Each structure stands twice: as structure tokens, then as C-alpha cells.
Structure 1
Amino acid sequence: MKRNYWPLFFIGIFSFVFSMIIWTVRSATSLPVIEDHSFMKKYQDVDENYNNMMDSNSLFLRKYNFEFYLNEKKFDLTTDDIKYSQRVLEKYSLHKDLLKVGKNNLKIVVYDKVTNEKKDVNIELIVTKSISNDSDMIFRNDDFLSQDKIYTSTFELKESNNWIITGSFNVDGTIGYIYIKTNAI
């Protein structure tokens, strides 16, 4: 009598696939979940309102001159880095090596385009690692020293890593958003 081994082969394949499914689910559930807080909002809100946020940026820039200084380098209200991966930024970005391990400085000033007077700003800003949120530094108006409507603050980074600086600036109900990817050296 000749033996048929196909049923054993089928049982072996089924057992292997079933064990891989269980392994995948267990591995996935054991990893930490890190929620993205770009622009200080949940990613679902950003996804749903992205076009409105960019329109708000355009309106903000039509009304105000925005100056954002990071370690004495001046930035406009930019969100260009949001479309680039970290690897692309490492090769081609103009925003490389902006941060330092150790003390870093922030300075924010907003001028009205018509009157050229400095404006009060409601600031919500976060400096976060690109891969985790265990080192998040959140800045609001209380974290800035305001002198003659010039907002300054310092923060310290403990490690060289890829970082994201994101947040919003509210002046008289008009909101501007910023998103900068960089690294610390």
C-alpha cells in the first residue's frame, strides 16, 4: 500500500501559517504606540483640516510679518518639511544641524504688516523626537519670557537625534502653523 503524504504537508503548512499569524499579532501588540501631535493636534484633525490650515497660514502671512529664530537662524512660517522623510532631509534639507546637544534658544516676533507694530501671540509649540514622544518639550506662552512682545525661551537637548519643531501661533484669531524637521549635533 502506497502512503499519501499530502494531508500531512497541508497540516504542516496550515500550522506554520497559523503560528506566524499569532506571532505577528503578539509582536505588534507588544510595541508601543506613539501618536503624532503635529501642529499640536491629533493626526486625524490635521488630516481632515490640512487645506484649511494651509489657507490659514497664507492669511496669517498676508496680515503679519513672522520671525522665528532658532539658535539665531531666522525662519518664516514654514511647513515644507512635512512632505519629506527624515532620510531626504538628511541629504537635501536646508534645515540640517539647527539644534545642538545642550542649550538651544527660541525667539518669536510678529509684526503687523500695515502698522509695523509688534503683536501679542498665543504660542503652542512642541519640540519632539521624530521616533518617539518620551522627550517632548511643550512650550506655551508661560514658557516664554515676553519683553516688549518679543518672546524668548531656552531648552536643553540631552541627545543627538532627529527632531521635529511644530506648533501654532495665534494672533487676533488668525492662526499660523510651523513644521520644521531637523537634527541635533
Structure 2
Amino acid sequence: MKRNYWPLFFICIFSFTLLMIVWTIHNTLKVPVNEDDAFLRKYQDIDENFNDVVTSNHIFLKKYNFKIFLNNEEKNLDINDVFLSQRAIEERTLNKDLLKVGENKIRIEIFDKKTNKLEDDFDIKFRITQTTNNNSKIDSNKNNFIFTQTGYIADIKVPKIGYWNIIATFEKDGNKGYLFIKTNAK
């Protein structure tokens, strides 16, 4: 009598598939889930209100002259990097190498356009974070910045080489400016 092994083959395939499903679920439960909080808000909120962010920046720039100096590299209030992949930094030089491993000097100048006076009392939320995880958040706020005659100044330490996002908000009297820069540290 000749034996038929096809049923055994299908049982083995089914068992292997079921085992792989269980293994996949088990391994994914061990990996932490990091919530994307670009612009220091939940991404769902940004998706729904991105036009408000753009409008807020336009209103902010009508009232204030804004400059940020990252290790003496001058940048403006800009959120255009949010549309780019991190690999775009390799090909373009606009925001490449703004940070360095170790101490980084940050200076922020915000002038009132009417009086041309350097403004103080801004609520500053400033974050430098690696692009792939939230384990490397470097958060700063108004308390970490010293207000001088040349603007708000802070020293921020970047611990390692890699791709980094610089995210910040600046708020005063209901006017809010947003900053989002993709760069790298070397």
C-alpha cells in the first residue's frame, strides 16, 4: 500500500505559519513604541492643523525679525525640512553639519519689527532629538536660555554622531513661531 504524505505536508506548513505568527507578535510586543511629536505636539494634531502652523509662522514673521545661530551658522524660522527625508541631508548642504558632537552654542535673536528692539519674555521650547527614536531627546526651555544683549543663548551637548532634528517653538502674546530643521552631528 502506497502512503500519501500530502496531508502531513499541509499540517507542517500550517503549523510553521502559526508558529511564525506567534513569534512575530511576541517580538513586536517587546519593542517600545515611540510617539512622533514633531513640533512638540502629537502628529495627529499637526496633520489636522498644519495650515495653522504655517499661518502662525507668517503672522509671527510679520511682527518679529527672527534669527537662530547654531554654532555661528545663521538660520531663519523655517519648517520646510519637514517635507524632506533624512537622507536628503547627504545630497544638499543647506542644513548639513549644523551640530557637532559635544558642546553646541545656540543663540536666538527675536527683534520687534516696529521698535527694532530685542524682545525678551518669550516662552521657548527647544528640542534636539535623533530621528529614529525618542531615547535621545535633549529638551531645553526658557530656563535653559540666558537672555543677554545679543539674544537668548544656550549651550547644548549632543552626545553622538548621527542625524538629528531641531524642533522649537517661540511664543509671546499669542504669537507662536515654529522651527523644524533636519541636520546631522559629526
CA contact (8 A) 1:98 1:184 kept: yes
Shift of 1:149: 7.2
Q: What's the counterpart of residue 173 of structure 2?
A: 172
> Per-residue displacement from partner, 1:65-103 (whole Å, max 9, x unpaired)?
111111111111111111111112222241111111111
1:126-145 equivalence runs, <5 A: 126-145=127-146
Partner residue of 2:116? 116
SS in 1 for 2:108: strand
Q: Unpaired runs of 5+ in structure 2?
A: none
Matched with 1:98 is: 98
Which residue in 2 is equivalent to 1:46?
46
Q: Is the 8 A contact 1:166 1:180 kept in 2?
A: yes
Number of residue-to-residue matches in the alignment: 185
Identify if the C-alpha distance between structure 1 residues 144 and 138 changes in structure 2 by more than 3 Å, giving closer, same or farther: same
Map of 2:13 onto structure 1: 13
TM-score (ref. length: structure 1): 0.93
- Post-superposition shift, 1:158? 2.2
**Residue type matched to 1:110 in 2?**
I
Equivalent positions of 1:44-83 (< 5 A) are 44-83=44-83
Alignment TM-score, normalising by the size of structure 2: 0.92
Structure 1: gaps of 5 or more residues: none
* Counterpart residue number, 2:26: 26
Report sequence identity in percent.
44
CA RMSD of aligned residues (A): 1.5
**Residue 153 in 1 paired to residue 154 in 2?**
yes
Distance 2:68 2:136 in 1: 22
How far residue 54 of structure 1 moved from its aligned partner, in angstroms, is 1.2
Q: Bigger CA drift: 171-180 or 5-14?
A: 5-14
Deviation at residue 143 of structure 1 after TM alignment: 0.4
Once structures 1 and 2 are overlaid, which stretch shifts more, 140-149 or 95-104?
140-149
Name the SS for the 2:87 alignment partner: helix
Write the deviation string for residues 107-133 of structure 1: whole angstroms up to 9, x where unpaired.
Answer: 111112222222222111101111222
